[in-house]
Chains A and B, each alone.
Chain A
Amino acid sequence: MNVVFWIFAVITLGGALAAMMLRSLVHSALAVTLAFAGLALMFLELGAQFAGFAQILVYIGAVAILVVFAILLTRSSEETGSGVFSPTWLRGLVIAAAVFAVLGWSILNSASALPGATVTPQVDVKQIGDALMGPYVLPLEIVAVLLTSALIGAVIVAMHEKEGAE
């Protein structure tokens, strides 16, 4: 547990908390970007360089932008009369707290079984490529099909209905 971990943890958790608490939706989107960036830094610290950069590219470069576009397209950034939390917020909070309690309890209880610090594994891009083309080639193909269908699906879902447009 070094200082770097704590800094990144504060960035990530601060961003996530702010995203869930802030009233303005655009502020939420920007805060969640901070959380994504903190996680990317954490991946880098864990030695997963490729995953960290992929996280920045996908989450900050694509997902955050998509969220922002959706917020502006749905005019959600304008203040609504009613509150931002649903009437059943207490139940939701209790469920989330219970989930965290269970997870935390199991992690702390199994702490002795978890492996301790080892040397940071060196993984270069060539290894990742070999793995993607070797043992993971089937998942890769499935992801390719999934992404293609998601692309087409998202376009169809968000496309203007022809009758409505005319």
Chain B
Amino acid sequence: MTPLTGYLLLAALLFAIGLAGALTRRNAILVLIGIELMLNAANLNLIAFWRYGPHPEALTGFMFAIFSIAVAAAEAAVGLGLVIQIYRHAKTTDLDQMNRMKG
């Protein structure tokens, strides 16, 4: 097994864990955490490909990861702001109870 395979498998497992969490947990905040984990797994892939790719000096994967980190921060801020607003409105963060389109 080459090092790159190891990193890719790890990232795939991390992605799967994040996906499982996002699909099975009831709490909206934990779903967001699961999505963050999936994003992080993608970042690991990008960095690993940059490291073992043929042209590391082009910095492509590296830059992609940096931008991805920046976007993830924005995503978390907006997502959690939405969760807080929903909580104010519906008094719950349980996704199974948020089943009405009407306020």
Residues in A lying within 8 Å of B, measured CB to CB: 1, 5, 9, 12-13, 16-17, 19-20, 25, 28-29, 32, 35-36, 39, 42-43, 46-48, 50-51, 54-55, 58-59, 62-63, 66-67, 69-71, 73-76, 80, 82-89, 91-93, 95-97, 99-100, 103-104, 107-108, 111, 114-118, 120-121, 123, 127-128, 131-132, 136, 139, 143, 146-147, 150-151, 153-155, 157-158, 164
| Selected contact of A123 from candidates B2, B26, B56, CB within 8 Å | B56
Q: Given the known A-B contacts A80-B94, A104-B12, are A62 and B24 also in contact in the complex, defined by CB atoms under 8 Å?
A: no
Number of A-B contacts (CB under 8 A): 248
CA distance A5 to B82 in the complex (A): 37
Do most interface residues of chain A lie in helix, strand or loop, or is the interface mixed?
helix
CA distance A58 to B32 in the complex (A): 16
What is the interface residue range for chain B against chain A? 35 or more
Look across to chain B and name the residue whose beta carbon is closest to the beta carbon of A2. Answer: B3
| Selected contact of A146 from candidates B17, B57, B71, CB within 8 Å | B71
B77 touches A127 (CB 8 A): no
B67 touches A13 (CB 8 A): no
Scan residues 66-101 of chain B and give those whose CB is less than 8 A from a CB of chain A. 66-67, 69-78, 80-85, 87-88, 93-96
| Selected contact of B36 from candidates A12, A63, A114, CB within 8 Å | A63
Residues of A within 8 A of B19 (CB): 92, 95-96, 99
